[in-house]
Chain A
Amino acid sequence: MSRITEVSIVPFTFEVRDLGLGAHAAMGVSNLQYQKGASLKVMRYAVRIRTDDGLTGEYVTHWVGTHGALGQSIMLAPHLLGRDPEQRELIYDDFKRELRAYDGMGHGPLDIALWDLVGRKYGIAVATMLGAYKAKLPTYASTHHGQDDPGGLDSPQAFGDYALACAERGFHGFKVHGWHDGDVRRESATLRAVRRAVGDRIAVMYDPGCELRTHLDALRLGHVCDEIDALWYEDPYRDSSVSLVGSKILREKLRTPLMVTEHVRGPEMKAAYAVAGACDLFHIDPEYDRGITGAMKCAHIAEGLGIDVQVHAPGPAHRACVAAIRNTHFYELALTGPGMPNLIPPVYTCGYSDQEAALGRDGTMPVPTGPGLGVSYDWEFIERHAFERKVYRA
């Protein structure tokens, strides 16, 4: 048996070109925008777990890498010491209990690093550990939000133009994240412009990111989704997509499948949504949903209930999951925009990338095949850009 002897949590920053913060200084997607020549400082964190028999497991966060999740990873990390890294189910159960009043967002990065470690121990990919069968994943373009300052996605027409470019590029679908003011007319015009631009070449999806202010606005945009034959309608309004009853009432009036539960943490609460008839698809994320361990539980609940899931956001762990889930459609390349980079840390020395340029001509992204997550990280870059180091040793 291997025993965990060291856990490191290393938050670091990096610069992303041509993006800036618009309306306010808080770092979130609610104010990210295209800004030519600007440079945006982004924070993420790296996790490294070591054992007494010389094994290492690593993970560098993508979208979950916030101060909130970092705080939780720091709370949980010392509790890994002395444990057998292969007992992920026991660790899941204990960590879930420890952070029972919390969302568990800091658990995912640790769980993913454990999968990486065990995969390396046996020389197999995480995808293989999961019994995966897909080598390439059909991918959709998930856009940055609309913006009022010129550039980027600054009008319904700009969304239409970009959707056409994505269809020509090979993407299998195009998902609109609209404007932050939740204006029903502009949102509707955007959806219609996108469908006009791409015709029936690719799937169109709509995610207002909860910016529609009322239930009735959500209903009105739902009718537009019906009109343009959207593949799904996601997290529409300011219940912040956590009201099961609200979703149920909305869903009863719409034809377009409703995808919620990105903001509903844990398999028990996601199950409640589907059982009550409040959603058509689950949204799951190995970073958000207590790791690959938690995300696969969610995928299996959906399977048990006969519905589909979509894996939220991109990353090596996400690819391994999508590759092993039958009841799912696309890999989400989030976020993309004309001339707008994705906020993925530049830490891969193996060629792994979640930038638009990495998309194959057939509109797919490959599933890593090396041991563990199948990626290698540039620890020199991480260390050079670290602003804190938490190292726990047994």
Chain B
Amino acid sequence: MSRITRVEVHEFEFDGHNLARDGVAQTITFRRGSSIRLSKFAILIQTADGGRGEYVTHWVATRSTLGQMLMLCPRIVGQDARERIAIYEDLKRDIRQFDHMGHGPIDIALWDWAGKRYGASVSELLGGYRKRLPAYASTYHADRAGGLDSKEAFVEFAEHCHALGYRAFKVHGWNDGNAREEAENVLHLARHVGDRMTLMLDPACELRTFADALYVGRACDEAKYFWYEDPYRDGGTSAFAHRKLRGMIKTPLLMTEHVRGVEPKADFVIAGGTDFLRVDPEYDMGITGSLKIAHLAESLGLDCEVHASGPAHRHLMSAMRNSNYYEVALVGPDCPNALPPVYRCGYTDQLECVDADGTVGVPTGPGLGVDYDWDYIARHRTQLHVFE
């Protein structure tokens, strides 16, 4: 038994330059000269036998997720850190009415704990074998402020990504959801780089109606996009509507980023609502929850695309045969990926993280294989929560 004796959650903040908020949740876009405060949090799990599991959140870091972590952390004190499945079951049941976003960081830290205990990377614990992961540049939402503010700007940035090594590129369009503007951007980009880069489109539910989703989907067909993701304001949750959309366009749909947990994802795909499954170890109840989803996709003969970037994401993908691209999210001209600068080991998900072949590596040290700068976290800390 490795009893969990202490859990710490550190909230901390840092600045992101040339960025501005558009909306209230995670929607961030380019604005030159603007700077925003970004909040992330770190979790540290300690066991009576001296073990340590660590994780610093990437895109899942929101007030909502933090709130759920404060609800869940007291629940794991006293539990055996080795029994991730028992913990998964209890946490899942405890906040069954909720979206489970606070569960992922806890589970990932437990995998880090296990890897450190056994002297193996998480990838090795998973039986991983893929050493290099083909990556795509996943853009910030389009803006009207000098970043990705026109179809020409998208071409220019795609060319830049191509020069860095990227062979795949995903557009997040304008938050206005103007179907004509989106379709024009889709076609224009394909005309300029479509012969050299695999292209994807993610309106992130900004198109307002089904008809707009169909219109832009037809542009994706014409421009031979690799996938079309979460098109419109159903919020990416209507299997019925997307089965209908799939029957009307050729481009494969990538849905289920907003559908939490293995069971609802199974239901969505069985109802004919998607071509690919989406998984994120931060969003989908950790690496434990994500593996279930990857295997669900495998059992149905489908591919499963890992959402967003981070060390846990890389370890997970290294053990998935049925996954195409690693998402370097989010990137744009002259602005950083809004991820915490806490890696002392050189780990990075910034735009330049790919090699000349457009791939990223998988960390090799014990656990997540990254070395967090706890001094930086302490210096930038705004609040510490301790559960014993």
Contact = CB atoms under 8 A, between A and B. Distances in A.
A93 B234 CA distance: 9
Interface in B228-256: 230, 233-241
Given A245-B270, A276-B271, A97 B233 contact: yes
Given A74-B63, A105-B97, A244 B75 contact: no
A11 B130 CA distance: 47
A374 interface: no
11 contacts: A24-B77, A26-B75, A28-B94, A66-B71, A71-B67, A75-B24, A79-B24, A100-B205, A103-B98, A211-B93, A269-B259
Contacts of A235: 96
Contact of B99 (A97, A98, A103): A103
A100 B26 CA distance: 10
Contact of B235 (A97, A106, A238, A271): A97
Contact of A100 (B64, B66, B89, B230): B230
A75 B98 contact: no
Q: Interface size bucket, A side?
A: 35 or more
Interface stretch (A51-59, A258-266, A315-323, A332-340): A258-266
Interface residues of B, number: 59
B102 interface: yes
Contacts of A76: 24
Contacts of A74: 63
Interface of B: 23-27, 62-68, 70-75, 77-78, 89, 92-99, 101-102, 204-206, 208, 230, 233-241, 257-261, 263-264, 266-268, 270-271, 283, 387
Contact of B94 (A30, A69, A96, A264): A30
Given A71-B65, A93-B208, A243-B263, 20 more contacts: A28-B75, A30-B94, A68-B71, A71-B63, A97-B206, A97-B233, A98-B24, A100-B204, A100-B235, A102-B64, A103-B260, A211-B93, A240-B92, A240-B96, A244-B264, A246-B263, A268-B235, A268-B237, A275-B240, A288-B97
A99 B233 contact: no
Interface-central residue, B89, B94, B97, B101, by most chain A CB under 10 Å: B97
B25 A99 contact: yes
A243 B234 contact: no
A88 B92 CA distance: 32
A105 B27 CA distance: 19
Given A24-B75, A71-B67, A74-B63, A268 B266 contact: no
A278 to B, nearest CB: 8
A75 B71 contact: no
Contacts of A97: 205-206, 233, 235
